[in-house]
A and B are shown apart, each in its own frame.
Chain A
Amino acid sequence: MARDPHDLLYGSLDLLILRTLAWEPMHGYGISSFIRQRTAGVFEIVDAALYKSLHRLERQGFIDGEWGVTDENRRAKFYKLTHAGRAALRAETSAWRQYVEAVDKVLEPA
């Protein structure tokens, strides 16, 4: 497929971020690495897009960013899911599942 991964990810990137933060608060680099590992490199994350999403989600009140210290004692901005973010994740996940099911049904051999 000759499609730009950026394009492919744009709508679902928010969902992936929210899902990732549902486990535990994480900084941007952590989120980026986590998604890479979980999707086994299927999604090539463009970090610029990731940060844009993070700051937009923070402004929208779905996640909350707070400066903290990493295990290695470095300053980093940790994001965590807010109540609103959790609700959005639930809604978006079910919407995503419906979408995937619908696509599956179309693509399934008859």
Chain B
Amino acid sequence: MTHRRYRRWLRLRFTRARAADVDDEFQFHLAMRARELERQGRTPDAARQEALAQFGDLDDARAYCRAEDQRRMREHRRTLWLDNLGQDLRLALRTLRRHPAFAVSTVLTLGVALALAASAYGVVHAYLVRPLPYPQADRLVRLTGVPVRGQPFPNQPNLNNVDWALADTLFDATVRMIPDGFTVLDGDRPEVVYGAWVSQGYFSVFGMKPAVGREFSVEEYRPGAPVAIISDALWSRRYARDPGVIGRTIRVRSLDSAEGELVTVIGVTPAGVWHINRFTEVLRPAFSPRMPAIARLEPGVTLEQAAERLNAVVRPQLPGVDPAWRMSLYTLQDQYTYRVRPTLVPLLAGAAFLLLIAAGSVAGAQAARTAARRAEMRVRVALGASRGRIVAQLLTETVLIAAVAGVLGALLADVTLGAVGALAGQHLVTGDHGGAGVPGGAESLALGAGRLVSVVGLGVLLGAVVGLLPAVAAVRRIDLWQRTAAALGSQKGTAHSVASPAMRRGMIVAQVAFTMILLVGAGLMMRTVLAISAEPLGFTADNVLKADVMLGRDTRTSRPRTDVTPVLSSVASAPGVRAVALAFPHPFWGFGNETARVNADGGAVEGDGALEATHHIVSPGYFEVLRIPLTSGRDFGPLDDAQATPVAIVSADLARQLWPGQSAVGRRVRLDADSVWRAVVGVVGDTREPVEVTQRPDVYVPHTQTPVELMALLTRVDGDPAALAPAIQQAVARVDQSLPLANIEPMSDVVNRDGQRQRALASVLSVFALLGLGLAMLAVYASLAYLVAQRRREIAIRVAVGAGTSAISSLVLREGVIVVGVGVVFGGVLSLGLTRVLTTQLYGVTATDPRTFGGIALLVGASALLASLSPLQHAMRVHPAEVLRTE
């Protein structure tokens, strides 16, 4: 403390202690004046009277002077505080410069953890917090006739006969979107694109305007209006962004039309506008009495009220409807993100736990450093620094570190967030019905200035909390010194020298516990991934190329086309092709699989209790392409055409359930989609669907007997299927120009989407868990090393009096076992509660799987043993003579 500051400090103390200063000062003045007047010959009374009179308004002066004094005091205190802060900051900077390793490692640990947490939060924010980029997005709802989300209702009423115009009156606006696949037929290269028939309100509800051209006019919302609006992507791809495309007539074939229609392009949707319906490339106007897909609530109406009103209108129109059936409303955001939420919660929780572990590491390091700086602090206390000043100085150090770490974290997060978001959009949040990209687009994932500031703020807050613990410990120690200073000349090797062991132990226990939680989460996810990949597919996806093909309708019969034999032959004769077939659906198709109730003659199941099976429409050769074993009977052949006897092939599981212990071939089945009985001609092996889908037995029918417009072309090839894609496309085009292929990808990619989310979650949690384990074990190591260093004297004495190596090692290990053991137990108990958030993501393993918990506990124990090896060696190498001589 400089001389000046010391003086000011003294004065502050002094003046504060005497509030009656002003009175004393005035009294002195009056006494002196009265004495002077007495000397001039006044009586003492008269003198006092006159002195008072001369003084003027005493009360006013006193009040004024006191106010001035108080104001001065306040200003002094403020400058003193600022001086102290400046001093603390300078001291902190100097200290940290002297220990760059500590400063750098702390800033990095905390900074990276903050960046990860901020990135995780950025993704969560984009999905669950930020509203969808639509006007009044909070009032947009999805209408669905399925009462329980995702679960087909057993007695689903036919909603096509409901007068939905009544429902329109209940909402601010309604939108109908009927998805379709369009084949664009103009030019030399036909192309299949997604499209939709949209109703009036589509553009206004989504706040979208065509970038070029115009919206559909009111008159155009009628059946068969020959107009279309195309996407920016299609405009670029096919028309080179020529503005002259507006008004041009193009031929477009929808899924259920035979030769397509000539429509006039009237508009182009804007580029770069994120949309739920963003894959849509051709929009046609719809005037449809069907159920609206999306509606905007009237202002002030809740979701529940709207659902109630809707059911009051719809249910009376459905006589005999199941009493349990209801229309459901979900907010659009909820509907878009509900599948994603179970993966985002573990992501955010994992990042938060890692951040806590990192904070624990910083706290532990700071505590150790504080302990090592006892001498410095004792000097400062001896020189008169108050406990508050010591705490303030220690806090300034950690807050400074944390602020730097916060800035680093914010900068890192800004860089990593885009990558994390893209990853999340592609892998983490891929639902079983296609992905759910980041709402608003992955490129909109910037954290923004406000949230970057929050990251820094969070860092500083963590730093303050983390710094407070060792600082409080230091204060307790100072008290201890003050009490024991007289009694203890030296404290070498005394019990007091282990700086606040309870607090540092607590820190390590917490770190181990949080690590345990992360490890258990990662372990359960890995078990899930293993369980999924161990589940036999029942078919071979390798070397198979999949492409969607829109067969469309036959121009003469206006039935879906079946005359595809030349196309299949052309593909089959292409070099490298082994076999080719058509199927709808193939396994892992992804959309709600087509199901059929199977009635069997003479079988176990009849009528209402009929078994539900996945209904596959396939061409001959399908089983060969996917290597699904034919266990008895025969495959479909070219003779099983529309005129021949209706036939079917059943999976082994279906055969077992329909005719237990009997041969299925020669039996007959009737599918609820059909009116005819089909002869079972073969039995094939079972195949499975993604693990999240209800598994059903399969029934197969030839596509010539049950034609369908959209099928998948499956080609088994030699070598890399992706490399043969162009050859296969050419082989198709050689025979039929109007059969473009879409969504071409190796079948193995399709299959790999199963468990992709679990794999991503497993990897993310594993990374978090391993980082956490590393930090926790570093803390264990540091703590034991410190313990050994502290107790060298004790160890030396014990060795000197004949303690064996086992006694010495148990001294060290006991500490490690206690701390890690308590941490593992705590972490295990916490995990039991917390892994529940993973339940929906698990497969083949329960959230409380004892083997996983046991294995993780062993892993933590083994790591802790590893971490204690080096301190243990040091303890063993203590030479009593050396230690006792030097101390």
Select from chain B the residue with minimum beta-carbon distance to A51: B61
B11 interface contact, C-beta 8 A: yes
Residues of A within 8 A of B61 (CB): 47-49, 51-52
Q: Which of A11-54 contact B (CB under 8 A)?
A: 27-29, 32-33, 46-49, 51-52, 54
Contact mask B29-58 → A, CB, 8 Å, 1/0? Answer: 101110010000000000000000011111
Contact mask B2-14 → A, CB, 8 Å, 1/0? Answer: 0000000001001
Q: Known: A55-B69, A66-B11. Is A47-B75 also a contact (CB below 8 A)?
A: no
Taking a contact as CB atoms under 8 Å apart, the answer to whether A48 and B55 are in contact is yes
Select from chain B the residue with minimum beta-carbon distance to A45: B54
Q: How far is the CA of A75 from the CA of B54 in the complex (A)?
A: 22
Per a CB cutoff under 8 Å, which of B24, B25, B65, B75 touches A52? B65
Residues of A within 8 A of B56 (CB): 46-49
Residues of A within 8 A of B28 (CB): 27-29, 74-77
Taking a contact as CB atoms under 8 Å apart, the answer to whether B68 and A56 are in contact is yes
Taking a contact as CB atoms under 8 Å apart, the answer to whether A47 and B55 are in contact is yes
Taking a contact as CB atoms under 8 Å apart, the answer to whether A28 and B11 are in contact is no
B380 interface contact, C-beta 8 A: no
Residues of B within 8 A of A49 (CB): 56, 61
Taking a contact as CB atoms under 8 Å apart, the answer to whether A77 and B21 are in contact is yes
A90 interface contact, C-beta 8 A: no
How distant is B71 from chain A, measured CB to nearest CB, in Å? 6
How distant is B301 from chain A, measured CB to nearest CB, in Å? 63
Residues of B within 8 A of A55 (CB): 22, 64-65, 68-69
How distant is A2 from chain B, measured CB to nearest CB, in Å? 19
- A interface SS class: helix
Select from chain A the residue with minimum beta-carbon distance to B32: A29
Contact mask B304-337 → A, CB, 8 Å, 1/0? Answer: 0000000000000000000000000000000000
Q: How far is the CA of A47 from the CA of B71 in the complex (A)?
A: 22
How distant is B645 from chain A, measured CB to nearest CB, in Å? 111
A92 interface contact, C-beta 8 A: no
How distant is B384 from chain A, measured CB to nearest CB, in Å? 22
Residues of A within 8 A of B64 (CB): 52, 55
Residues of B within 8 A of A59 (CB): 68-69, 71-72, 75
Select from chain A the residue with minimum beta-carbon distance to B61: A48
Interface residues contributed by chain A, number (CB under 8 Å): 22
Select from chain B the residue with minimum beta-carbon distance to A28: B29
How distant is B10 from chain A, measured CB to nearest CB, in Å? 10
Contact mask B51-94 → A, CB, 8 Å, 1/0? Answer: 00011111011001100110110010000000000000000000
Per a CB cutoff under 8 Å, which of A32, A46, A51 touches B65? A51
Central interface residue in A29, A46, A54, by most chain B CB within 10 Å: A29
Residues of A within 8 A of B55 (CB): 46-48
Taking a contact as CB atoms under 8 Å apart, the answer to whether A51 and B25 are in contact is yes
Residues of B within 8 A of A32 (CB): 29, 33
Taking a contact as CB atoms under 8 Å apart, the answer to whether B72 and A28 are in contact is no
Q: How far is the CA of A32 from the CA of B55 in the complex (A)?
A: 10
Q: Known: A48-B55, A48-B57, A51-B61. Is A29-B33 also a contact (CB below 8 A)?
A: yes
Central interface residue in B14, B61, B71, by most chain A CB within 10 Å: B61
Residues of B within 8 A of A52 (CB): 61, 64-65, 68
Residues of B within 8 A of A58 (CB): 68-69, 72
How distant is B303 from chain A, measured CB to nearest CB, in Å? 63
Q: Known: A55-B64, A56-B68, A59-B71. Is A47-B54 also a contact (CB below 8 A)?
A: yes
Contact mask B573-601 → A, CB, 8 Å, 1/0? Answer: 00000000000000000000000000000
Q: How far is the CA of A74 from the CA of B60 in the complex (A)?
A: 25
Q: How far is the CA of A66 from the CA of B14 in the complex (A)?
A: 10
Select from chain B the residue with minimum beta-carbon distance to A57: B68
B26 interface contact, C-beta 8 A: yes
Select from chain B the residue with minimum beta-carbon distance to A54: B65
How distant is A1 from chain B, measured CB to nearest CB, in Å? 20
Q: How far is the CA of A56 from the CA of B61 in the complex (A)?
A: 11
Residues of A within 8 A of B31 (CB): 74
Contact mask B682-721 → A, CB, 8 Å, 1/0? Answer: 0000000000000000000000000000000000000000
Q: How far is the CA of A58 from the CA of B57 in the complex (A)?
A: 20
Per a CB cutoff under 8 Å, which of A47, A56, A75 touches B29? A47
Q: How far is the CA of A27 from the CA of B30 in the complex (A)?
A: 12
How distant is B705 from chain A, measured CB to nearest CB, in Å? 103
Closest 10 CB pairs of A and B: A48-B56, A48-B61, A55-B68, A59-B72, A55-B65, A46-B56, A47-B55, A29-B32, A29-B29, A59-B68
9 more CB-based (< 8 A) A-B contacts, given A27-B25, A51-B22, A51-B26: A29-B29, A29-B32, A47-B29, A47-B54, A51-B65, A55-B69, A58-B72, A59-B75, A75-B28
Chain B residues close to A by CB (< 8 Å): 11, 14, 21-22, 24-26, 28-29, 31-33, 36, 54-58, 60-61, 64-65, 68-69, 71-72, 75
17 A-B pairs with CB atoms under 8 Å apart are A27-B28, A28-B28, A29-B28, A33-B36, A46-B54, A46-B56, A48-B56, A48-B57, A48-B58, A48-B60, A49-B56, A55-B65, A55-B69, A66-B11, A67-B21, A75-B28, A77-B25
Chain A residues close to B by CB (< 8 Å): 27-29, 32-33, 46-49, 51-52, 54-56, 58-59, 66-67, 74-77
